């Protein structure tokens, strides 16, 4: 007898509909799965066999063939255990299910028949909703995540027996529901805040400017000056995630298996800080069956690279294209996948190999040649994509001992949101531009016109401070953001003056040049 069921498979961060057919023939016992299954799918034979027996059913001792269509798309993971087991029970006439292909079924089986959590649940639920299935049978641990796909009836099950009982009498089960807006608003909480950072007011200001214009930022300072502490708080002042952004961010983390069981929907912007030993595939994504890398896990959030010169140079060069395009494409012989990667880059580094070149309280032991070699580990093209360079000095005792708190993240976030709204209106209907950092040369001519005092100040800065040619556009972009924060329609000389201070690495005075 032949049984047909519906399930979902994940490709990239989206899912697609697959059909699972179970056929039992009067031939010598065997178990075959076709349809490009990977190792985890092929191993489902043992899990399914034990689960069926331990739930009181009989495993058919005949020729069993499982077909997963479409046959030319690779299937991977353990989410097909449950539909395969139910298909075998239907094909062997142990249960009767009407309209079995009206429901999607996903779930991994343990040997005792318990249905376990799977990756990519949100993508599967959105797929099931979009193709118009009557409902989706899911592991109970995944029910809250699946319910985020509003409009889809979600039926959680604990065991294989539970799933069989539901399919045998579908009218007796009430769909799982959750209040998504309430969950979303409740989860919009950060455990850290800028008010806990002592001193470093000018660094906080630079981070505020960076967040307001989505400018990539680099912090240079001695060890212990607070670079990492400041960077970790950067997501807390970015505008709140919209529901669409939250869905896309959640899908990426769910596919990667990084979504917490009690977090059905990510409501805060992600912060990723990979170690400097990370590989190319770890940062950009990859593998024989491509997985999202750190830059995709940072989508709609912040990617923080600490000790930037310690990263492999080839790894850093892979950042250049995703920063420009907001996505990363991974090509393999059998497939090509594109992951979103629209992130804000924050980096930190010491000013020299020993770390104390700019610290007046510690003597630097590095020669100018060593310092120059250390700084040159970061390529010019990558530096071109970082708008703000800011020096982070070591804190004094008075700053460490102060008891007053700084400005709260919530207040800073309001200022950022106001500036972002100005930019949204400014760039309305402009292709692929949402904030000042994304402006190109033609946009600078339109939106960054300077009056005579501002032009004179910028000219003096470039000539006397030895600012590089690439600093010119960056200063205009950052000046535009500072003007937006001040609520000014036109860039003024004080905005130019502040932006010039954010180009530390472009000055001739650096390294005594």
Query: Rounded to whole angstroms, how far apart are CA atoms 126 and 247?
Result: 10
Cβ contact 8:2 at 8 Å: no
Of 178, 207, 240, which one is at a domain's C-terminal end?
Answer: 178
Give residue-wise pLDDT tens across range 215-233. Answer: 999 999 999 889 999 999 9
Of the candidates 267, 313, 268, 274, the residue with the CA atom closest to the CA atom of residue 296: 274
pLDDT value at residue 31: 94
Instruction: Name the band, by pLDDT with cuts 50, 70 and 90, for residue 107.
Output: very high
What SS3 class is residue 440?
Answer: coil
Given CA atoms 36, 38, 43, 44 in this order, what sign does their dihedral have? negative
Query: Rounded to whole angstroms, how far apart are CA atoms 338 and 331?
Result: 9
pLDDT value at residue 44: 93
Of the candidates 355, 70, 351, 121, the residue with the CA atom closest to the CA atom of residue 247: 121
pLDDT value at residue 334: 67
Give residue-wise pLDDT tens across range 156-210. Answer: 999 999 999 999 887 778 899 888 888 787 778 888 999 988 888 899 999 999 9
Cβ contact 220:358 at 8 Å: yes
Q: Give the pLDDT mean for 241-257.
A: 93
Give residue-wise pLDDT tens across range 409-444. Answer: 999 999 999 999 999 999 886 667 889 999 988 889
Judgement on whether residues 356 and 455 belong to the same structural domain of the protein: no
Judgement on whether residues 200 and 302 belong to the same structural domain of the protein: yes
Of the candidates 479, 467, 453, 451, the residue with the CA atom closest to the CA atom of residue 509: 467
Judgement on whether residues 373 and 396 belong to the same structural domain of the protein: yes
Q: Which residue has the tokens 């040159």?
A: 376
* CATH number, domain with residue 7: 3.30.230.10
Judgement on whether residues 161 and 212 belong to the same structural domain of the protein: no
Query: Rounded to whole angstroms, how far apart are CA atoms 246 and 223?
Result: 35
Of the candidates 201, 213, 211, 203, the residue with the CA atom closest to the CA atom of residue 483: 213
Cβ contact 359:368 at 8 Å: no
pLDDT value at residue 440: 86
pLDDT value at residue 310: 93
Is pLDDT at 509 greater than 70 in this prediction?
no
Distances (CA, A) of 505 to 17, 406, 465, 478: 52, 28, 11, 16
Judgement on whether residues 323 and 237 belong to the same structural domain of the protein: yes
Query: Rounded to whole angstroms, how far apart are CA atoms 356 and 489?
Result: 41
Query: Rounded to whole angstroms, how far apart are CA atoms 144 and 264?
Result: 6
Cβ contact 456:440 at 8 Å: no
Instruction: Name the band, by pLDDT with cuts 50, 70 and 90, for residue 126.
Output: very high
* CATH number, domain with residue 451: 1.10.8
Provide the 10 A C-beta neighbour count for residue 224.
Answer: 12
pLDDT value at residue 507: 59
Of 148, 178, 208, which one is at a domain's C-terminal end?
Answer: 178
Judgement on whether residues 206 and 330 belong to the same structural domain of the protein: yes
Q: Is residue 431 part of a domain?
A: no
Q: Is residue 187 part of a domain?
A: no
pLDDT value at residue 217: 97
Of 426, 452, 483, which one is at a domain's C-terminal end?
Answer: 426
Q: Where are the beta strands (DSSP E) in 310-451?
A: 327-331, 336-340, 344-349, 388-391
pLDDT value at residue 511: 42
Between 324 and 396, where is the model more confident? Answer: 324
**8-state DSSP, 54:** H
| pLDDT cut 70: percent of the chain above it | 97
CA 127-41-137 angle, to 5 degrees, is 40
Query: Rounded to whole angstroms, how far apart are CA atoms 122 and 143?
Result: 10
Give the number of domains in the chain: 3
φ, ψ (nearest 5 deg) of residue 445 = -65, -30
Is pLDDT at 58 greater than 50 in this prediction?
yes
φ, ψ (nearest 5 deg) of residue 403 = -105, -15
Q: Is residue 286 part of a domain?
A: yes
CA 159-164-168 angle, to 5 degrees, is 150
Provide the 10 A C-beta neighbour count for residue 397.
Answer: 7
pLDDT value at residue 166: 92
Residue range of the domain that includes 473: 439-513
Contacts 24+ apart (CB under 8 A), 364-372: 368/511, 368/512, 371/511, 372/511
Q: Is residue 124 part of a domain?
A: yes
Q: Give the pLDDT mean for 497-504.
A: 91
Find which of 330-344, 425-439, 455-469, 489-503 is predicted with most confidence, using mean pLDDT: 489-503
**8-state DSSP, 509:** T
User: Average pLDDT over the chain, rounded to whole?
Assistant: 90
pLDDT value at residue 152: 94
Judgement on whether residues 270 and 417 belong to the same structural domain of the protein: yes
Q: Which two tokens stand for residue 262?
A: 């009690």
Of the candidates 100, 61, 41, the residue with the CA atom closest to the CA atom of residue 289: 41
Q: Which two tokens stand for residue 141?
A: 């641990």
CA dihedral of residues 221, 225, 229, 231 (deg, nearest 10): -20
Q: Is residue 52 part of a domain?
A: yes
Of the candidates 473, 405, 415, the residue with the CA atom closest to the CA atom of residue 439: 473
Cβ contact 159:183 at 8 Å: no
Cβ contact 124:10 at 8 Å: yes
Q: Is residue 186 part of a domain?
A: no
* CATH number, domain with residue 319: 3.40.50.300
pLDDT value at residue 101: 83
Judgement on whether residues 91 and 222 belong to the same structural domain of the protein: no
Of the candidates 19, 21, 51, 16, the residue with the CA atom closest to the CA atom of residue 33: 21
Judgement on whether residues 155 and 44 belong to the same structural domain of the protein: yes
pLDDT value at residue 331: 82
pLDDT value at residue 289: 77
Beta bridge partners of 192: none
Query: Rounded to whole angstroms, how far apart are CA atoms 112 and 12?
Result: 31
Query: Rounded to whole angstroms, how far apart are CA atoms 64 and 83?
Result: 14
Cβ contact 3:91 at 8 Å: yes
Give residue-wise pLDDT tens across range 282-329. Answer: 999 987 778 899 999 999 999 999 999 999 999 999 999 899 889 999
What SS3 class is residue 37?
Answer: strand
Q: Give the pLDDT mean for 339-344.
A: 94
Q: Is residue 415 part of a domain?
A: yes
Give residue-wise pLDDT tens across range 344-372. Answer: 999 999 999 998 888 888 888 899 899 88
pLDDT value at residue 513: 40
Judgement on whether residues 224 and 343 belong to the same structural domain of the protein: yes
Q: Which residue has the tokens 């005092």?
A: 453
Judgement on whether residues 174 and 212 belong to the same structural domain of the protein: no
Q: Which two tokens stand for residue 389?
A: 């360079």
Q: Give the pLDDT mean for 49-58.
A: 96
Between 456 and 333, where is the model more confident? Answer: 456
Taking the whole predicted model, whether its pTM rises above 0.75 is answered as: yes
pLDDT value at residue 431: 64
Judgement on whether residues 281 and 336 belong to the same structural domain of the protein: yes
Is pLDDT at 148 greater than 70 in this prediction?
yes
Q: Is residue 412 part of a domain?
A: yes
């Amino acid at each position: 007898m032949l049984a047909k069921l519906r399930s979902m498979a994940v490709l990239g961060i989206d899912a697609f509909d697959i059909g699972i057919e179970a056929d039992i023939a009067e031939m010598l016992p065997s178990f075959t799965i076709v349809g490009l299954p990977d190792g985890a799918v092929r191993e489902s034979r043992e899990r399914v066999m034990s689960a069926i027996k331990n739930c009181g059913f009989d495993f058919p001792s005949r020729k069993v063939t499982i077909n997963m269509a479409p046959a030319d798309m690779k299937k991977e993971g353990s989410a097909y255990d449950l539909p395969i087991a139910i298909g075998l029970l239907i094909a062997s006439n142990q249960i009767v299910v009407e309209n079995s292909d009206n429901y999607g079924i996903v779930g991994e089986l343990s040997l005792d028949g318990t249905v376990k959590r799977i990756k990519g649940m949100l993508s599967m639920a959105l797929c099931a909703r979009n193709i118009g299935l009557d409902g989706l049978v899911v592991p109970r641990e995944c029910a809250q995540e699946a319910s985020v796909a509003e409009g889809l009836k979600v039926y959680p099950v604990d065991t294989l027996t539970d799933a069989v009982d539901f399919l045998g009498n579908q009218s007796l089960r009430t769909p799982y529901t959750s209040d998504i807006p309430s969950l979303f608003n409740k989860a919009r909480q950060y455990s850290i805040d800028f008010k806990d950072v002592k001193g470093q007011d000018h660094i906080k200001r630079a981070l505020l400017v960076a967040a307001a214009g989505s400018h990539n930022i680099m912090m240079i300072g001695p060890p212990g000056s607070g670079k990492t502490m400041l960077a970790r708080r950067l997501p807390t002042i970015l505008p709140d995630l919209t529901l669409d952004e939250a869905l896309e961010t959640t899908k990426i983390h769910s596919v990667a298996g990084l979504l917490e069981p009690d977090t059905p929907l990510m409501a805060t912007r992600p912060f990723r800080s990979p170690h400097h030993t990370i590989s190319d595939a770890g940062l950009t994504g990859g593998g024989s069956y491509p997985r999202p890398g750190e830059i995709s896990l940072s989508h709609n959030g912040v990617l923080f690279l600490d000790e930037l010169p310690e990263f492999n140079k080839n790894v850093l060069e892979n950042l250049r294209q995703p920063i420009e395009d907001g996505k990363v494409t991974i090509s393999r012989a059998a497939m090509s996948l594109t992951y979103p990667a629209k992130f804000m880059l924050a980096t930190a580094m010491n000013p020299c190999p020993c770390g104390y070149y700019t610290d007046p309280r510690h003597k630097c032991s590095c020669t100018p040649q060593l310092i120059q070699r250390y700084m040159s580990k970061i390529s010019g093209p990558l530096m071109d994509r970082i708008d703000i360079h800011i020096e982070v000095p070591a804190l004094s005792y008075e700053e460490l001992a102060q008891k007053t708190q700084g400005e709260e993240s919530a207040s800073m976030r309001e200022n950022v949101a106001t500036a972002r709204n100005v930019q949204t209106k400014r760039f309305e209907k402009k292709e692929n531009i949402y904030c000042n950092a994304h402006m190109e040369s033609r946009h600078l001519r339109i939106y960054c016109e300077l009056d005579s005092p501002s032009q004179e100040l910028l000219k003096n800065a470039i000539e006397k401070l030895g600012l590089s040619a690439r600093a010119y556009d960056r200063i205009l972009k950052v000046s535009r953001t500072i003007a937006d924060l001040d609520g000014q329609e036109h860039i003024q000389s004080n905005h130019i003056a502040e932006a010039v201070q954010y180009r530390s690495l472009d000055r001739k005075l650096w390294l005594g040049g």
